[in-house]
Amino acid sequence: MKGLRFVIQKHAARQLHYDFRLELEGALRSWAVPKGPSLDPRHKRLAIEVEDHSLSYGDFEGLIAEGEYGAGEVIVWDAGTYLPDGAEEGTRRREQERLAAAGLAAGRITFRLFGHKLQGGWTLLRLPNRPGQWLLMKQADSYADARRNILLEDRSVLTGRTVENVRKRAE
């Protein structure tokens, strides 16, 4: 798969959330989205910046043991590539990363997702005076759909498992 990766891991920790991750400069920039992404452009989903993760963590599914940080089940809810606005598929990877880094530093990045579940234009916007807090929003395009709850598609795009499947397996 060409291009910069994105991954969303559904994480049934003490508080269920979706970890939204964008590849940049050899790591996965990460945000925890408590309510998960929405295809409805009117929904502004809080996205809390968390520490970078390694690229290899983006393939992780399984159980984080009780007592460890983030204890609970993890599945790869969606995965694919992203293109920051200003880049096309033929744009050199270095230039794609430069555009993405500039957007993140400015607190506003718009990009296209090429995932199994999420597609089209999205925006991450940093809230002023609220350190580490961003909003994740679908742009109004042909992939927007206010009537469809994408979170009901609850299976891993890697293995077809749900977090409940992972839990049962571990019991």
* Residues that bind Mn ion in the complex, under the rule CB under 5 A: 11, 19
Query: Which of 19, 61 has the CB closer to Mn ion?
Result: 19
Structure-block tokens of residue 110:
């718009």
Least separation, in Å, of the C-beta of 31 and Mn ion?
A: 10
Query: Which of 11, 112 has the CB closer to Mn ion?
Result: 11
Angle at 83 between CA 82 and CA 87, to 5 degrees: 170
Least separation, in Å, of the C-beta of 19 and Mn ion?
A: 4
Query: Which of 11, 161 has the CB closer to Mn ion?
Result: 11
Least separation, in Å, of the C-beta of 79 and Mn ion?
A: 15
Residue 29 has a CB neighbour count (10 Å cut-off) of 21
Least separation, in Å, of the C-beta of 13 and Mn ion?
A: 6
In the block, tokens 């690229």 appear at 55
Query: Which of 19, 23 has the CB closer to Mn ion?
Result: 19
Q: Please, which residues bridge with residue 75 across strands?
A: 10
Judged by DSSP in three states, 150 sits in helix
Q: Please, which residues bridge with residue 81 across strands?
A: 5, 114
Query: Which of 19, 78 has the CB closer to Mn ion?
Result: 19
Structure-block tokens of residue 126:
């940093």
CB 17 within 8 A of CB 7: no
Least separation, in Å, of the C-beta of 127 and Mn ion?
A: 20
